Amino acid sequence: MTSDKGLAPSSPLASSVSAIGVSEGIKARLRHEFERFLLMFAYLFVILVLFQIHEYIILAQHHLAFHKYGFALVNALVFAKFMLIADNYQPFARFRVGRPLLHPILFRSVGFAVLFILCDIGEKLLVGAVHGVGPSQSLPTFGGGGLLGSFLVGAILSISLLPFFAFDEINRALGPGKLAAMVLRHGAAPIAPATPTA
């Protein structure tokens, strides 16, 4: 029996309504995560395709064949998954508290560039182990090898990720969807002219 104030907490109907609410919340969360994954994948795919085009041009200049077809697609999928998982733990959240937006943008760009390099090293080692190749032969060489080459590749990756994280951090500061709406739909609000001072 229910009262005038609403459903009894233990009634079957109340339990059903609660279950529906939980289910809708889970669906909304999954949809949000899937949209984030697609956005990360699309951005990484474009970046990796640009890297491949550059590599293709360099090899063509030396009359060498290019064999890494599908590299951008597979790695964008893998990196986007790692990026989504790592970002959900909010490892750089402390850089947002009382600091300029530039701080989390830079730290996230550099941090994820390092993560992608480590993922690439792990992938090469795993493939080498499957084919019976030792770690010394499986380790990739970045930018021609050496510390300088690794630093340059890391710097290029960090700079490539800056626009993505800048957009994400500004969107987070303004509120979900507001920056995208300004860029894609409504445009920026006009800036009022400064009032002259006496």
- What pLDDT is recorded for position 68? 77
pTM: 0.71
Q: Is residue 95 a contact partner of residue 103, using CB atoms and an 8 Å limit?
A: yes
- What pLDDT is recorded for position 145? 59
What Rg, from alpha-carbon coordinates, does the chain have? 24
Q: Tens place of pLDDT for every residue, the chain, 198 residues?
A: 444 455 455 566 556 656 666 677 788 888 888 988 999 999 999 999 998 898 889 888 888 888 778 888 988 998 899 888 888 877 777 767 778 888 889 988 998 898 888 887 787 778 777 877 777 666 666 666 566 777 888 889 999 999 999 988 888 888 877 877 777 775 555 545 555 554
Span 139-170, pLDDT tens digits: 666 666 566 777 888 889 999 999 999 988 88
Span 44-65, pLDDT tens digits: 999 999 988 988 898 888 888 8
- What pLDDT is recorded for position 39? 92
Cβ-based neighbours of 55, under 8 Å, separated by 6 or more: 66, 68
- What pLDDT is recorded for position 1? 47
